[in-house]
């Protein structure tokens, strides 16, 4: 038995499904997950000493690849000073200054420990600020696993067939209005049906949790205008896209100013972190200034702050977005050309360092069209890539990610593997 299989058997005895986050269990693609013992650059080394080119990048955070020496040194230096103080620390201030500089829509920011905490807190803040209860979210957008947001959710919830999680009281779900992404008419109808009741609208401006999907031209602008007209707080969940689509996220690329923004992943440099921020008049409703409570023992943790600061400074220095976009485009164009040669349909939406392969002839622009992707073909494709040493997300409903460590040779090899995997379908 392989070391990974042995570990998985042991894990299943004690950890539900053998994993601490559902998508990792490989259930939608079949087979058993591999365990990773180390990672460096764009390469994962499994417990069985296989080397894999990694296009999951720890689900987004590893924009500089794994174990980057600069980030590692920053963590080591912070570690020397202590792991957690439970008091304000200087790193938090530096992090806030960096975030505010990269995201002009953010005037004030609060650190927390995960993307889930960020979105959950932003929703509570929007409700406390507007004194309204209802929120709008979009089908297939995944904003972590708090109760109000686990409704028609993407990511693992969709992958495992539970987009509406058990355990969410119906009375909570009633306060969440779910609409199709990319549909302004549906948004208008929802505002008309709930006059003066919508506290906020939360969206992944580019979706990354139902595969990667981009908005139609004018959609996000239309969303902004309607939120302003109806006094609803517009919340951009840029946990995945922040610092990844551009330094200032989707909002920079699309030139839209949301009221609140949720961040995570890259800002922790690989350690657990989240943040939410935005208009000062809204943020000042948070305790201790205002009545909306939010807190965390490890919030602003010095190790996570140090890792995140190093990661953001590297991005500032390298400005890697055009290069990453070119590499991602090459990978996607290779998949599209191989599919054309083979006579099968594939959609390859991509931007900067995010991409997806949907095996469907239908252009993918929302949850319903994402579901037209052929899951059986995806499964065969996924395993063909994995067998040849290329690790893609083990779900048709997760985005792929590149990092600055994905150099020419890594992309050359990945293109060869993707080409052969599609031609072999």
Applying the rule CB under 6 A, the residues between 54 and 73 that interact with ligand HOZ are 59
Strand 198-203 and strand 233-237: the pairing is parallel
Q: Which residues contact 156 (CB under 8 A, 6 or more apart)?
A: 21, 22, 23, 395
Q: Least separation, in Å, of the C-beta of 24 and ligand HOZ?
A: 5
Q: Least separation, in Å, of the C-beta of 23 and ligand HOZ?
A: 5
b or e along 131-160 (b: 16 or more beta carbons within 10 Å of the residue's beta carbon)?
Answer: ebebbbbbbbbbbbbbbbbbbbbbbbbbbb
Nearest residue (CB) to ligand HOZ, 187 versus 239: 239
Applying the rule CB under 6 A, the residues between 397 and 416 that interact with ligand HOZ are 398
Q: 277 has which bridge partners?
A: 109, 261
Nearest residue (CB) to ligand HOZ, 22 versus 308: 22
Which x/- pattern over 303-322 shows residues binding ligand HOZ (rule: CB under 6 A)? --------------------
Nearest residue (CB) to ligand HOZ, 182 versus 395: 395
User: Binding segment for ligand HOZ among 20-28, 364-372, 376-384, 407-415 (CB under 6 A)?
Assistant: 20-28
User: What is the dihedral sign for C-alpha 281, 284, 285, 290?
Assistant: negative
- Residue 142 among the catalytic residues: yes
CB 391 within 8 A of CB 385: yes
Q: Is 34 in the site for ligand HOZ (CB under 6 A)?
A: no
Single out the catalytic residue among 54, 183, 237, 366. Answer: 237
Nearest residue (CB) to ligand HOZ, 156 versus 277: 156
Q: Is 209 in the site for ligand HOZ (CB under 6 A)?
A: yes
- Residue 237 among the catalytic residues: yes
Size of the site for ligand HOZ (CB under 6 A): 8
Compute φ and ψ for 161, nearest 5 degrees.
Answer: 80, 20
Q: Is 350 in the site for ligand HOZ (CB under 6 A)?
A: no
Nearest residue (CB) to ligand HOZ, 129 versus 357: 357
- Residue 54 among the catalytic residues: no
Single out the catalytic residue among 134, 265, 321, 397. Answer: 265
Q: Is 156 in the site for ligand HOZ (CB under 6 A)?
A: yes
Q: 177 has which bridge partners?
A: 136
Q: Is 24 in the site for ligand HOZ (CB under 6 A)?
A: yes
Q: Which of 7, 23, 57, 198 binds ligand HOZ (CB under 6 A)?
A: 23
Nearest residue (CB) to ligand HOZ, 199 versus 266: 266
Q: Least separation, in Å, of the C-beta of 399 and ligand HOZ?
A: 8
Nearest residue (CB) to ligand HOZ, 60 versus 277: 60
Q: Least separation, in Å, of the C-beta of 303 and ligand HOZ?
A: 19
Q: Is 155 in the site for ligand HOZ (CB under 6 A)?
A: yes
Q: Any idea which residues carry the catalytic annotation?
A: 142, 237, 265
- Which chain residues interact with ligand HOZ by CB under 6 A? 21, 23-24, 59, 155-156, 209, 398
């Amino acid at each position: 038995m392989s070391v990974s299989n042995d570990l998985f058997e042991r894990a299943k005895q004690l950890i539900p499904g053998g994993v601490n986050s559902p998508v990792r269990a490989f259930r939608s693609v079949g087979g058993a997950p591999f365990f990773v013992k180390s990672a460096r650059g764009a390469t994962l080394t499994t417990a069985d000493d296989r080397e894999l080119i990694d296009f999951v990048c720890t689900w987004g955070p590893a924009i500089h690849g794994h174990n980057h020496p600069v980030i590692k040194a920053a963590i080591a230096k912070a570690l020397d000073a202590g792991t957690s103080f439970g008091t304000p620390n200087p790193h938090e201030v530096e992090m806030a200054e960096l975030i505010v500089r990269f995201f002009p829509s953010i005037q004030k920011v609060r650190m927390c420990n995960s993307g889930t905490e960020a979105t959950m807190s932003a929703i509570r803040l929007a409700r406390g600020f507007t004194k309204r209860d209802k929120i709008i979210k979009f089908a297939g957008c995944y904003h972590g696993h708090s109760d109000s947001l686990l409704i028609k959710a993407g990511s693992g919830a969709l992958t495992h067939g539970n987009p509406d999680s058990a355990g969410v009281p119906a009375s909570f779900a009633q306060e969440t209005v779910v609409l199709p992404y990319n549909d302004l008419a549906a948004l208008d109808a929802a505002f008309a049906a709930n006059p003066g009741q919508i506290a906020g609208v939360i969206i992944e401006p580019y979706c990354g949790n139902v595969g990667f999907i981009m908005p139609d031209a004018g959609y996000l602008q239309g969303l902004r205008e309607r939120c302003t007209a109806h006094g609803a707080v517009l919340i951009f969940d840029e946990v995945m896209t922040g610092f990844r689509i551009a330094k200032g996220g989707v909002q920079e690329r699309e030139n839209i100013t949301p009221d609140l923004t949720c961040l995570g992943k890259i800002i922790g440099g690989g350690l657990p972190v989240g943040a939410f921020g935005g208009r000062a008049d809204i943020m000042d409703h948070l305790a201790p200034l205002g009545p909306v409570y939010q807190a965390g023992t490890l919030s602003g943790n010095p190790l996570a702050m140090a890792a995140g600061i190093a990661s953001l400074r590297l991005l500032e220095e390298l400005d890697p977005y055009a290069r990453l976009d070119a590499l991602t485009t090459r990978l996607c164009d290779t998949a599209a050309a191989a599919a054309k040669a083979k006579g099968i349909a594939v959609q390859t939406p991509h931007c900067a360092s995010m991409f997806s392969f949907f095996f469907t002839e239908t252009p993918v622009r929302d949850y319903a069209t994402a579901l037209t992707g052929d899951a059986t073909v995806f499964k065969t494709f996924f395993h063909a890539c994995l067998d040849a040493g290329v690790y893609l997300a083990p779900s048709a409903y997760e985005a792929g990610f590149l990092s600055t460590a994905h150099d020419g040779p890594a992309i050359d090899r990945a293109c060869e593997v993707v080409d052969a995997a599609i031609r072999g379908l």
